[in-house]
Amino acid sequence: MPSTVVSALSSRLLRALAMALVCVAIATAASARGQRIALVIGNGNYQQPDLPKLANPTNDAEDIARALRGFGFEVIERKNQTLEGMNQAIAEFGSKIGGSEAALFYYAGHGIQVKNQNYLIPVNARIESEASVPYQGVNLNQVLDEMDNGKSGANIVMLDACRNNPITGKFRSGQSRGLASPGSAPKGTVIVYATDPGNVASDGTGRNGLFTAGLLTAFKGKDLTLDGVLTTASAEVEKASGQTQTPYVNGPKTLQKSFHFQVTVEPGRGEIEKTFWTSIERSNDAADFEAYLQKYPNGSYKALAENRLKKLRADQRAPAATPPAAPPHAGFAAGSSSAFDGRWAVTLVCEDVGEGGKVAKGYTYNFFSDVKEGRLTAQKGETGTPGSLTWVGVIKADGSAEINSSGLTANPDYAVGHARPSSPYSYRMRGTFTPTSGKATRIELRPCEATFFKN
């Protein structure tokens, strides 16, 4: 056998072995730590005059989500959600928690009890009477049902929603202050209120509500069992409120003592790199591998990226043996499928990134995209205005997707290089879809990931 063939086979075998070892290592680590899923919602920008705006819930959601990611949770983070948005987020949460090690639900915002049922209030709720609450709010039992169906090893519910009912004059029955005592809950469930049932919790005068501030302090403590965290948080709340507010805990003590908020180092970085690599490993564009090596000069896939880049550059120098490829826009739509047609809820999360000594803050966008005959379009904001974002892409029959993004910057603090407002930008994303969900990753400049959930 010619030596060149042997060399090529050896190279392929080594690459395959390296990839296999990486996959085994990742799978082993994932299996060892288990899967932890959290849904975090903060509602403060209420639109009805009778529902006062709340200053802290969006801060609470951001800070709790950041802390949970540090404990190894995959976090679905939502802020200022409508009724539709809350229902979609809860459905997405339910779809992910099946068989997980832990499922955690956190909510900050207005909560109302009606006839011993607790309702979490979306920002677009219009509550005209007691009878309208079940249609305008989200019953807490909806979340508990998802947890019951998911059969997670541990279920944790934290509600910073025990604020005074601001529209009590419209109600005729029952207790109007705070939340009602929880009824039946799924086995292995701990439910925590910011204060006792029927009492009122403070929204706080600082960045966070008193209960959330107590949790954040507890998360930095030495005892990171659930019991230790709740004990520390309760002491913090009682101290800050002058003993007028005491968090309420309902659920098995054995679970509280056995569940740990374990600490992870640099959560998500390895997974982001893996997602980046997965999105480009079959690419025929040398720029994709140059971008990977620039971002991860000592990354896990460095050797593979260098080999792929070397081959692509050699191919570019070789004489063309076939007619020129079709223009990008023609090939972009090839092989698209109507199997993914419909409306999709999108959450785009971009992390902090540093460039030129400046740090561009991360951000989260929630919007919708539409797919017709495999062609994906989305528009956030009005085209041509600061902060606008336009997506045009395609989902192919095998579920692979490519998306071109363009828009105008708004706040310089969130723009790479702190570009001034209304500066144009563009980037590409690649991802994969199933008939009900999808993910896409930005392949240039900063780590961004979009998750899709079909309506």
Residue 27, pLDDT score: 41
Tokens representing 94 are 């339910």
HSE toward the beta carbon, residue 153, CA cutoff 13 A: 13
pLDDT digits (tens, 9 = 90+) for 58-95: 999 999 999 999 888 999 999 999 999 999 999 999 99
pTM for the whole thing?
A: 0.53
Number of DSSP helices (H) and strands (E) in the chain, helices first:
12, 19
Q: At what angle do helices 3-33 and 302-317 cross, to 10 degrees?
A: 140
Tokens representing 200 are 């009122």
Q: What is the bridge-based pairing of β-strands 389-395 and 375-380?
A: antiparallel
Residue 180, pLDDT score: 57
pLDDT digits (tens, 9 = 90+) for 162-207: 655 555 544 433 444 556 556 666 778 999 988 766 565 555 567 8
pLDDT digits (tens, 9 = 90+) for 284-302: 878 888 888 888 888 888 8
Q: How confident is the model at residue 361 (pLDDT cuts 50, 70, 90)?
A: confident
Tokens representing 375 are 């062609």
Domains of the chain and any CATH numbers? 28-258 (3.40.50.1460), 268-318 (no CATH), 332-454 (2.40.128)
Query: What average pLDDT does the segment 252-277 reach?
Result: 73
Residue 334, pLDDT score: 41
Residue 447, pLDDT score: 87
Residue 52, pLDDT score: 85
Q: How confident is the model at residue 18 (pLDDT cuts 50, 70, 90)?
A: very low
Q: Three-class SS of residue 213?
A: helix
Give the Cβ contact number of residue 106 at 10 Å.
Answer: 25
pLDDT at residue 240 greater than cutoff 60: yes
Calpha distance 239→255 (Å, rounded): 26
State the Cα torsion 184-189-194-198 to the nearest 10°.
10
Residue 309, pLDDT score: 87
Q: Are 85 and 123 in contact (CB under 8 A)?
A: no
DSSP 8-state secondary structure symbol assigned to residue 435: S
> Which residues have CB under 8 Å from 5's CB, separation 6+?
none
